[in-house]
Structure 1
Amino acid sequence: MLADPRSHGLWECTAPAAPATVALSGQVTTRVAIVGAGYTGLSAALHLASAGVEAVVLDGAEVGFGGSGRNVGLVNAGMWVMPDDLPGTLGEPHGERLLSLLGNAPAEVFDLIDRHAIACEAERTGTLHCADDEKGRRELGERARQWQARGVAVRVLDGAETCRMTGSVAYRAALLDPRAGTIQPLAYARGLAAAAIAAGARVFTRSPVTGCMQSGARYQLDLPGGQVLADQVIVASNAYGTGPWAALAQELTPLPYFNCATPPLPDAVRRTILSGRQGAWDTRRILRSFRMDQAGRLVFGSIGALSGAGLGVHREWARRSVARMFPQVGPVRFESEWFGTIGMTADNLPRFHRLAPGIVTICGYNGRGIAPGTVFGRVLADVARGVIDDAALPLPVTDVQAPGFRRARQIFYETGACLAHAAGERVKTRR
């Protein structure tokens, strides 16, 4: 995308074309202006337009340019935080509300896909959270217990069943979550955009917002080609935010994440790896994720940026890892590689902010953008429509606060990943 083969990699090569959009020119008036054409902004636009509310989406680049078009494509339920910890962290009633919202979020994603016939390689077969050591196995057992206490049919697989379902002897156990699944993430973003446009929303790309000021009872958003006058504004830029709300990106610690994809594997080989079509990731501190796309490519990723010194280090680590975990693949080569940025918060939970009267945002998805972004877009649409007020939100209203030592944390993440990957997978994998 934008002539950069490492921005969106495989997803750019295999996604259906984006709906036709243009840069904004002149002056446009709307009820709600939405800044950012990722999952959150497009979901908000779709829900607003479907309810008969005027909505205009503005993006400085293209539909799905940020994390929405770069991630691995796991549609997960919940967040990284253990279910029982959410009420303690957020307090009542927000903790249980957020658990319920995000627990049901994958179903909402797949319902939108079905309802709007979005071609995005949707696989609603669950995900596998894999334990590579005893500590990880215990963690998965406790996570399963807490979800099961809430009536969720997750289950822990033993080593033999994990090996059978993943196709690798690398793991001792896995947590199977049937609520979850996988999609082609850029195709989903483009499909949401097409659905929003069909419902009546207007989407402008290559239209960065450079300023925002009050103009009478409305807000005036300034762009290189004109202005948008809006009664309300939804900021949905998350870790890729610039312009008047750049402070939102500064609130998040950026975590780089990359993916590499093999060519389509022979049928006999692809049947041995994730035969149930689940997506997977593990409990390692510097985690690994892996999945198959519809054509049988193995997509393998981890923390790190494919730039500078990290390019060779991470690529070679991924090649060694695939060879070690899946020897049936044979000589490993990648036909595409790409990376992006995850926005991390100090407690691994998202934030809801009122930036000004009539300007709202939710940000900080911590690597769980697909399902949360979709349902939070609906929540923000409901806020803009006046359907819900602050008392009914799944998150408390908080002020924007930059994390301490943000730059140091960013350097630590990337340097730590480079060092770990430079030495990783040079010894025999043990169960």
Structure 2
Amino acid sequence: MITDPRSHGLWARTAPPAPDTTPLRGEATADVAVVGAGYTGLSAALHLAQGGAQVVVLEGETVGFGGSGRNVGLVNAGLWVKPDLVPAALGTERGERLLALLGAAPRRVFDLVARHGIACEAEGAGTLHCAVGRKGLADLADRARQWQDRGAPVRLLDADEATRLTGTRAYAGALLDERAGTIQPLAYARGLARAAIDAGAVVHTGSPVVGVTETGPRWHLATPEGGVTADWVIVATNAYTRAPWPEIRAEIAHLPYFNIATAPLGDNLRGTILPGRQGAWDTKPVLTSFRLDAAGRLVIGSVGALRGTGAAIHRAWARRTMRALFPQAADVPFEAEWYGRIGMTADALPRFHRLARNVVGFSGYNGRGIAPGTAFGAVLADLVAGRITEADLPLPVTDPAPIGFRAVREIAYEVGAQAVHLAEARGPASG
């Protein structure tokens, strides 16, 4: 059970209950042991179990405890980096393969939601990347062109169109991505877990992996009260990785991100803010995101942690930003707040690792976890099941490499976000 109101906030309050799970007690065997019950691990477990594999999922906390249960809920296509940078970094063949996979990933999410009847407030109306000033608009125009060159249904909106779809005049334009949408993220994770269990997977929560031993051709994963012996191990822990794979933690820096939700807006306000139900964020380096949930609550977020001095600073920023973007809702009370961490790699690209023989995983989602995590989980299932080889993967096989000055980066992210939000308090708030 999630008891800290700042860990999952609104999502814990409004998600359907998680499926019944228990800690692993005693020894078990499986074809595949999956470590982590977030989007990647649960998608892998679901697709493997549907193919007839015996799957055991080991989760140290609860289903969706990490980033899968704390994020904004934007089901975005692609990556944070612009499309043309991906083949430049990975090579044309693999880079375009990754872009095709992740461009179609939101549709995969919405198809799974429909197929398994997952109650997660799914909205497929698209997302809006909002331009702050002329520089932001030029950046979005370049991004739009790169996606359009690949046939993607994205469209650059002018200021008037952006105002109509967001409900604020703060932006010089916006990029509408019709592939994308929003979900209730913790509800989606819980729904994936239920679907995986229904397909035959076994999910154990409260079962952190405390040791891994190679036993002949198989692996033994020890937990505090038991263990699993399996042919394959999928490591799907990303920013919430603990032992026994410290090399994954070492290659990503933690970027804190918070969300604050209002009480449900009245009927007179709902039609004036995001009337098309898109989720949105802007082009500022320390960005602002905003979306509505199914009950009409406005969820506003940014980089930062709601702890120490950051709690008061970021709350005040959220109120000022509400007043600047949506003055008609400036006095609507806040009723929930929460935060978590994003795993950032040095180049903002995800990684695929073969950590040992038959031990594999993706990590480094860089703030794009919902659709990529779902898609990468299915890719891992195909790899483990032998339907594809490593040559078919959307990323090259790489060894984890520690990110430079990781501790300094993490302090800079947290303290820097406070500084930016304080600086905005001295001048007009902007979206």
TM-score range, shorter chain: over 0.9
Counting only pairs closer than 5 Å after superposition, residues 199-218 of structure 1 correspond to structure 2 as 199-218=199-218
Q: Which residue of 2 aligns with 1:4?
A: 4
* Residue 140 (1) aligns with residue 140 (2): yes
Residues 49-68 of structure 1 mapped to structure 2, 5 A cutoff? 49-68=49-68
- Deviation at residue 430 of structure 1 after TM alignment: 6.7
Count of residues paired in the alignment: 431
Q: Deviations over 1:217-270 (max 9, x none)?
A: 210101001110000000000010112113212210100000000000111101
Equivalence for 2:150: 150
Gapped regions of structure 2 (runs ≥ 5): none
SS state of the match for residue 232, structure 2?
strand
After TM superposition, list the pairs within 5 Å mapping 1:201-350 onto structure 2.
201-350=201-350
Aligned partners of 1:399 and 1:216: how far apart in 2? 23
Tell me how far apart the structure 2 counterparts of residues 203 and 130 of structure 1 sit (CA, whole Å): 39
Note if contact 2:132-2:284 (Cα within 8 Å) is conserved in structure 1: yes
Q: Which residue of 2 aligns with 1:70?
A: 70
Distance 1:321 1:201 in 2: 44
1:245 & 1:70 partners in 2: Cα distance?
23
Question: How many angstroms does 1:92 deviate by?
Answer: 3.1
Which residues of structure 1 form unaligned runs of 5+?
none
Structure 2 counterparts to residues 80-99 of structure 1, below 5 A: 80-99=80-99
Q: Is the 8 A contact 2:83 2:143 kept in 1?
A: yes
1:112 maps to a residue whose letter is L
* Pairwise CA distance, 1:426: 4.2
State the match for 2:185 in structure 1: 185
Question: For 2:99 and 2:182, how far apart are their aligned partners in 1?
Answer: 20
The letter of the residue matching 1:230 is A
Correspondence for 1:415: 415
Q: Secondary structure at the match of 2:130?
A: strand
The alignment yields a C-alpha RMSD, in angstroms, of 1.0
Structure 1 residue 423, shift from structure 2 partner: 2.3
Question: Contact 2:322/2:330 (CA < 8 Å) preserved in 1?
Answer: no
Q: Distance in 1 between matches of 2:216 and 2:225?
A: 21
Q: Secondary structure at the match of 1:243?
A: coil
CA distance in structure 2 between the aligned counterparts of 1:30 and 1:260, rounded to whole angstroms: 41
Amino acid at match of 1:303: V
CA contact (8 A) 2:324 2:430 kept: no
Q: Name 1:120's counterpart in structure 2.
A: 120
Report the Cα distance in structure 1 between the residues aligned to 2:242 and 2:235, rounded to whole angstroms. 11
Contact 2:158/2:172, CA 8 A, preserved across alignment: yes
For 1:70 and 1:397, the matched residues in 2 are separated by 29
Query: Is residue 323–residue 332 contact of structure 1 (8 Å, CA) maintained in 2?
Result: no
What is the distance in 1 between the residues matched to 2:153 and 2:231? 44
In terms of mean alpha carbon deviation, does 210-219 or 289-298 score higher?
210-219
Shift of 1:332: 4.0
- Residues 390-401 of structure 1 aligned to structure 2 (within 5 Å): 390-401=390-401
TM-score by length of 1: 0.99
Return the offset for 1:312.
0.6
Deviates more, 1:211-220 or 1:27-36: 211-220
Partner deviation per Cα, 1:191-218 (whole Å, 9 max, x = no partner): 0000000000000000000000111221
Taking the aligned partners of 2:107 and 2:170, their CA distance within structure 1 comes to 30
Deviations for 1:104-159, whole angstroms, at most 9, x for unmatched residues? 00000000000000000000000000011111100100111111111112111111
Asked whether the 8 Å contact 1:118–1:192 carries over to 2, the reply is yes
- Residues 319, 332 of structure 1: 8 Å contact kept: no
User: Could you list the runs of 4 or more consecutive aligned residues of structure 1 that deviate by over 6 angstroms after TM superposition?
Assistant: none
Partner Cα separation in structure 2 for residue 402 and residue 332 of structure 1:
44
Q: Would the aligned equivalents of 1:49 and 1:201 in 2 still touch at CA under 8 Å? A: yes
Whole-angstrom CA distance in 1 between matches of 2:200 and 2:371: 23
Amino acid in structure 2 at the alignment position of 1:402 = P
**2:384 alignment partner in structure 1:** 384
Indicate the SS of the match to 1:352.
strand
CA contact (8 A) 1:264 1:296 kept: yes
